[in-house]
């Protein structure tokens, strides 16, 4: 099946919002084994939309459209699509009932234009909206399918998972199963090299590597007649991948490193504190983004100045003098000082040169040290990947801190 993603909305053409719907739908369709040939964005203009539909179906059998289903005057997708499929809009009573119930429950009057949302093409399969007001629908004619979804990402994703995915799976002869393995500490080219014979030698499962801001992923996917067959093939291949690069892989379920570490800390009830220099609070910020983390995260100190390192963490002025603020020794004393004052079980510290200024031949931009104090021992690691970019370096340091905690928790 060949598909195109059609986004309707003038705000996209003004550059007011980023088209994350197209990204999500592309990923999901590819995972279902459906090729995505085009993305199109068009304003709320019936003539242009209608011409575009004709053009797209020259190449594709499936269009997934988002946006333009709402209650306002400029929402015209439904009318235009119905016309292109020789259909007309009729009142869909279950949708009207759902709308009335929703407004009654919220005790707000339903304005007349909201009723428009319950008018849908007569031959459509209606997709209920469990997160908002506008229902979606699927329409099929002469081997051409269009699926219209609401524009707000939350509503669109919910409808895709609950209604569109089963609809498309039912129309496919095969089933796709995949795993997304996530790795830290290895570059994409090294990862690809380590897996090259597996990548080249395989048609199913397929193996693909991806790079994203200092992390890598490996996608292992299989398309078979049944889900069980596909799953078995993926799991067998996943084991082979893990034999080669297992020590870099921190999740086989596409979890973020921060989520993995937070989950382990919360499950084990291990208390944690941080002392940051170059990352300036980003580690604490990332960890405290996880709901429930307050059960284990006690405090974070951003000791940006040397004075703060001495006063807050008890780093010795001699250490700063002799080895410098960016040194293995300072990182170690930061972690140990933090353990003394906080009493937390895992104490992590970082000090580095984020850039763009402040680098020297001995201590270049991107150099950083991460120390972890756990169970009476302090371990220290140095960055191996370095960059001139301040934002990249800071982000990379946060990942290195998380990875180091992950490793000491695993070692037990």
With binding defined as CB under 8 A, does residue 38 bind its own copies?
yes
Chosen residue from 128, 317, 356, 364 binding its own copies by CB under 8 A: 356
* Interface stretch with its own copies, choices 73-81, 173-181, 187-195, 350-358 (CB under 8 A): 350-358
- C-alpha 381/C-alpha 372 separation (Å) is 9
At what angle are helices 46-56 and 77-84 packed, to 10 degrees? 40
* Interface stretch with its own copies, choices 170-178, 241-249, 306-314, 400-408 (CB under 8 A): 306-314
Residue 384 or 391: the one with the smaller Cβ distance to its own copies is: 391
Compute φ and ψ for 349, nearest 5 degrees. -135, 150
With binding defined as CB under 8 A, does residue 77 bind its own copies?
no
Residue 47 or 375: the one with the smaller Cβ distance to its own copies is: 47
Chosen residue from 202, 206, 259, 288 binding its own copies by CB under 8 A: 288
239's CB contacts (< 8 A; 6+ apart) are: none
Q: Tell me the closest approach of the beta carbon of residue 99 to its own copies, in angstroms.
A: 22
With binding defined as CB under 8 A, does residue 364 bind its own copies?
no
Binding mask 378-397 vs its own copies (x if CB under 8 A, - otherwise)?
Answer: ------------xx--x---
Compute φ and ψ for 269, nearest 5 degrees. 65, 40
With binding defined as CB under 8 A, does residue 206 bind its own copies?
no
DSSP notation for 84-135: HTT--EEE-HHHHHHHHHHHHHHT-PPPHHHHGGGEEETTPEEE--SSSS--
Size of the site for its own copies (CB under 8 A): 68
Chosen residue from 300, 332, 352, 366 binding its own copies by CB under 8 A: 300
252 is written with which tokens?
């086989």
With binding defined as CB under 8 A, does residue 399 bind its own copies?
no
With binding defined as CB under 8 A, does residue 301 bind its own copies?
yes
What radius of gyration, in Å, describes the C-alpha atoms of the chain? 27
Quote the DSSP letter at residue 63. Answer: E
Chosen residue from 171, 307, 322, 340 binding its own copies by CB under 8 A: 307
Binding mask 248-287 vs its own copies (x if CB under 8 A, - otherwise)?
Answer: --------------------------x-x--xxxxxxx-x
With binding defined as CB under 8 A, does residue 42 bind its own copies?
yes
Select from 339, 341, 333, 409 the least CA-distant residue to 376: 339
Chosen residue from 133, 222, 342, 345 binding its own copies by CB under 8 A: 342
Chosen residue from 32, 36, 241, 245 binding its own copies by CB under 8 A: 36
56's CB contacts (< 8 A; 6+ apart) are: 4, 6, 38, 40, 63
Select from 276, 267, 282, 347 the least CA-distant residue to 309: 276
* Interface stretch with its own copies, choices 225-233, 288-296, 315-323, 361-369 (CB under 8 A): 288-296
With binding defined as CB under 8 A, does residue 351 bind its own copies?
no
With binding defined as CB under 8 A, does residue 308 bind its own copies?
yes
With binding defined as CB under 8 A, does residue 200 bind its own copies?
no
With binding defined as CB under 8 A, does residue 292 bind its own copies?
yes
With binding defined as CB under 8 A, does residue 27 bind its own copies?
yes
The strand pair at 62-66 and 2-8 is best described as parallel
| Virtual torsion, Cα 43, 49, 53, 59, nearest 10 deg | -40
Chosen residue from 165, 299, 328, 407 binding its own copies by CB under 8 A: 299
With binding defined as CB under 8 A, does residue 122 bind its own copies?
no
292's CB contacts (< 8 A; 6+ apart) are: 266
Q: Tell me the closest approach of the beta carbon of residue 120 to its own copies, in angstroms.
A: 27
- C-alpha 79/C-alpha 101 separation (Å) is 25
- C-alpha 191/C-alpha 123 separation (Å) is 50
161's CB contacts (< 8 A; 6+ apart) are: none
Q: Tell me the closest approach of the beta carbon of residue 340 to its own copies, in angstroms.
A: 12
Place of tokens 């405290």: 288
Chosen residue from 1, 26, 125, 379 binding its own copies by CB under 8 A: 26
Give the CA distances from residue 95 to residues 5, 134, 138, 349, 399, in Å, rounded to whole numbers and listed in that order: 25, 9, 15, 55, 47
- C-alpha 157/C-alpha 21 separation (Å) is 8
Give the interface with its own copies as residue ranges (CB under 8 A).
7, 12-20, 22-28, 30, 36-43, 48, 51, 55, 58-59, 210, 274, 276, 279-285, 287-289, 291-292, 294, 297-305, 307-308, 311-312, 341-342, 355-357, 390-391, 394
């Amino acid at each position: 099946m060949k598909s195109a993603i059609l986004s309707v909305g003038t705000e996209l053409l003004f550059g007011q919002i980023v088209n994350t719907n197209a990204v999500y739908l592309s990923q999901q369709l590819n995972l279902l084994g459906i090729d995505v040939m085009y993305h199109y964005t068009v304003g709320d203009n019936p003539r242009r939309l209608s011409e575009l539909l004709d053009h797209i179906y020259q190449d594709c059998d499936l269009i997934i459209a988002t946006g333009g289903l709402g209650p306002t005057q400029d929402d015209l997708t439904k009318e235009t699509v119905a016309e292109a499929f020789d259909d007309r809009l009729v009142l869909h009573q279950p949708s009207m009932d759902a709308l009335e119930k929703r407004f009654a429950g919220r005790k707000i009057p339903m304005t007349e234009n909201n009723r428009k949302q319950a008018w849908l093409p007569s031959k459509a399969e209606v997709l209920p909206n469990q997160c908002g007001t506008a229902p979606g629908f699927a329409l099929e004619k002469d081997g051409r399918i269009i699926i219209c979804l609401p524009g707000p990402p939350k509503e669109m994703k919910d409808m895709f998972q609950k209604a569109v995915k089963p609809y498309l799976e039912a129309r496919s002869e095969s089933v796709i199963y995949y795993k997304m393995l996530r790795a830290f500490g290895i570059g994409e080219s090294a990862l690809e090299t380590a897996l090259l014979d597996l990548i080249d030698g395989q048609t199913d499962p397929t193996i693909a590597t991806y790079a994203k801001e200092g992390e890598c992923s490996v996608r292992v996917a299989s398309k078979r007649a049944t889900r069980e067959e596909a799953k078995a093939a993926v799991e067998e291949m996943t084991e082979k991948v893990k034999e080669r690069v297992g020590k870099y892989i921190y999740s086989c379920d596409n979890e973020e490193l921060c989520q993995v570490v937070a989950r382990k800390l919360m499950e084990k009830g291990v208390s944690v504190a941080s002392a940051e220099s170059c990352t300036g609070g980003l580690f604490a910020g990332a960890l405290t983004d996880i709901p429930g983390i307050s059960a284990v995260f006690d405090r974070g100190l951003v000791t940006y100045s040397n004075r703060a390192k001495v006063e807050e963490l008890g780093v010795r002025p001699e250490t700063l003098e002799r080895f410098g603020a960016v040194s293995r020794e300072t990182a170690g004393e930061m972690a140990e000082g933090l353990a003394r004052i906080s009493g937390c079980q895992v104490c992590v510290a970082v000090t580095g040169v984020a850039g763009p200024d402040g680098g020297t031949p001995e201590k270049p931009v991107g150099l950083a040290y991460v120390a972890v104090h756990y169970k009476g021992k302090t371990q220290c690691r140095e960055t191996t990947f370095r960059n001139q970019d301040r934002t990249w370096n800071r982000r990379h340091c946060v990942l290195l801190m998380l990875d180091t905690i992950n490793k000491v928790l695993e070692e037990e």
